[in-house]
Amino acid sequence: MYLYIRGRGGPVSRDEAADHVGISRKLAAFHLDKLVERGLLTAHYARLSGRSGAGAGRSSKLYEPSDLEVDVSIPERRYDIVGEIMIEALDQDSEESPRRVAKRVAYEKGKAIGGDVKADLRLRPPGSERALSIAEETLSKYGFEPYRDEAGSISLRNCPFHTLARQAPELVCGLNREFIDGFLRGIGNDTVEAALEPTPGECCVKLRATPTSPNSLTPSRASTNTF
């Protein structure tokens, strides 16, 4: 029904939608209004031209597609994030290499998301376990499918950038790590690291608490930028 309305290029009545799908007008109205409720369609009332009979003067409820974009992927993919990183990196006037700029943008994007989470939760700088729990919850929303392993670290079952990672693993895995590392710093944590550990069938990044002091993560991060 939704695809039919998208393909019509103009307003569709309940009767037209019901006839096309082969269901009753009442059932069509139920589904159409649900699509409006979910933001996939918009609705308005208007009189239909060419109508005759008892109901000729009455307005009909008409439906049209909204501008909401719909993308369904199982497992979840988030190529929009990589796209935003690439566009911002290409838009910057920098003497750095495009790869290095993209990594910096990925880190900053992750850090901004972490900052938003920190503000929403009114977080003080979280310790390792709290940071891992927050990362687990947040990364699940971005399609990483995080889970705790036996050591208490977080592994990621899914790479939201899977197709691109297969085409350019060093670049995309590096962006992945920078994005997650930025998120950890954005929430105010310096005792959890995002490490590159490619594992067949999983995302290349793992999160674990580090025994090092908070300030010792900065040199470590700098060294991984050569990846």
Q: pLDDT digits over 78-119, tens only?
A: 999 999 999 999 999 889 999 999 999 999 999 999 999 999
The arithmetic mean of pLDDT across residues 174-196, rounded, is 97
Domains of the chain: 2-65 (1.10.10.10), 79-224 (3.30.1380)
pLDDT in tens, 119-175: 999 999 999 999 999 999 999 999 999 999 988 999 999 999 999 999 999 999 999
pLDDT digits (tens, 9 = 90+) for 3-51: 999 998 889 999 999 999 999 999 999 999 999 999 999 999 998 765 5
Report the distance separating Cα 178 and Cα 103, nearest Å.
6
Q: How far apart (Å, rounded) are the C-alpha atoms in residues 162 and 125? A: 32
Residue bearing tokens 């139920």: 30
Sheet holding 205-209, edge to edge: 146-148, 154-156, 205-209, 192-196
CA distances from 63 to 11, 41, 45, 120 (A): 5, 6, 9, 37
Q: Return the amino acid letter for 126.
A: P
Q: What is the DSSP letter of 216?
A: G
Tokens standing for 67? 């501008």
